[in-house]
Amino acid sequence: MRHPNPLCIALSAVSLFVFSACSKSSLTEPQESAQSALSSAKQVTAASTTPVGTVIYTSNGYKLTFTNNAGGFDDATRQKFVDMYFSIYPTLLNRFYTGATKQVTFVIDPNYNGVAYTSGTTVTYSAAWMANHPQDVDVLTHEVMHVVQAYTGGTPGWLTEGIADYVRYKYGVNNGPAGWSLPAWSSSQSYTDAYRVTARFLVWLERHVRATIVDDLNTALRNKTYSGNTWNQLTGKSVDQLWTDYSNNPAL
C-alpha cells in the first residue's frame, strides 16, 4: 500500500514547512539505520514522532491537510494515514460519490477520549486511541467513508454506520492485525444495531440478494429518496423480511 514517495507537493504558501516534512519522511529509514549503526547497546530505539503543526499533502488532485496537535504522535502512524488517504479515499470517491470533496482534513487530537469522528470534511482522531491501538489504522477507512457519504440529514444512523463498516471490511488494509472482524450472526442482533452487525448484513445481501445493494442504498441516502420502501424496490422484500432470510441462513 505504500506509495513510492512524497505524495506531497509543496504548496507555495507553506513550501518550506511542507517540503521539510515530506523530505523527512522520505529519509526516515536511512536516518534510523545510521543511528542504529552508531548507537550503543544502551540506546533505546525510540519511535520517531510527528511534529506538532500542520502539513499539507497533495497528489493527483487530492489534498490532505494534516494537523497534529499531539506531542509524541507516532510518525509511522502519520505516514500510514497519509498513504491510506491517498490510496483508499479516491477508491471510495470513485465508487460511491464522484462529487465528493477532494480536500480532506485530518486532526490528531490529544484531548479527545473517543476513537475518531467526522464532521463535514474533517476527520478527528484520538491521539490516545491510536497510541494504544497502533494497528487500528482502518479507523481511517471507516471515517473517510463518512466524508464520501456526505448525506444531508434524515438518514438512519444505523445504515450510515453500517455502510461505513462495510467499507472498512471491504477496503481495510489492517483489519486482521487490529483484531477487527465482522461478528457472526446471533439471535440477539438486529439490522438496526449499526456498525459491524449491519455491515455483515450488507455483505450477505450483496452476495445473496443484490450485488449492487450498498451502492443503491448509498445513492438513495444521498439523494434523499431513501425510505423503508427502498428495500422493497431494490429486492422485492422488506428489510425485516430480508433480515429474517439472513437469520435463517447467515453464512456469507
Contact between 127 and Zn ion per CB under 5 A: no
| Grid cell locating 106 | 485530518
Least distance to Zn ion from the beta carbon of 117, Å?
Answer: 8
Q: CA-CA distance, 210 to 204, in Å (whole number)? A: 9
For Zn ion, the closer CB: 138 or 161: 161
For Zn ion, the closer CB: 83 or 161: 161
Q: CA-CA distance, 24 to 16, in Å (whole number)? A: 12
Least distance to Zn ion from the beta carbon of 164, Å?
Answer: 5
Binding-residue total with Zn ion (CB under 5 A): 2
| Grid cell locating 143 | 471515517
Rg (CA), the chain: 21
For Zn ion, the closer CB: 25 or 124: 124
DSSP classification of residue 186: -
| Grid cell locating 119 | 464532521
Annotate 134-184 with DSSP letters as a single string: TT-TTHHHHHHHHHHH---SS--HHHHHHHHHHHHHHH-SSHHHHT--PPP
Residue 103 pairs in a beta bridge with: 63
Least distance to Zn ion from the beta carbon of 132, Å?
Answer: 19
* Amino acid code (one letter) for 139: V
For Zn ion, the closer CB: 58 or 200: 200
Least distance to Zn ion from the beta carbon of 124, Å?
Answer: 12
Residues 146-205 that bind Zn ion (CB under 5 A): 161, 164
| Grid cell locating 206 | 450483496
Least distance to Zn ion from the beta carbon of 94, Å?
Answer: 20
For Zn ion, the closer CB: 79 or 155: 155
Contact between 139 and Zn ion per CB under 5 A: no
| Grid cell locating 51 | 511534529
**Is there a contact between 112 and 148 (Cβ–Cβ < 8 Å)?**
no
- Find the helix or strand (DSSP H, E) in which 55 lies: strand 53-59
Which residue number is nearest to Zn ion in terms of Cβ? 164
Sheet with strand 53-59: strands edge to edge = 53-59, 62-68, 103-109, 122-126, 116-119
Least distance to Zn ion from the beta carbon of 174, Å?
Answer: 18
For Zn ion, the closer CB: 82 or 167: 167
From residue 76 to residue 115, what is the string marking binding to Zn ion with x (rule CB under 5 A)?
----------------------------------------
Least distance to Zn ion from the beta carbon of 79, Å?
Answer: 24
For Zn ion, the closer CB: 64 or 139: 139
Binding site for Zn ion (CB under 5 A): 161, 164
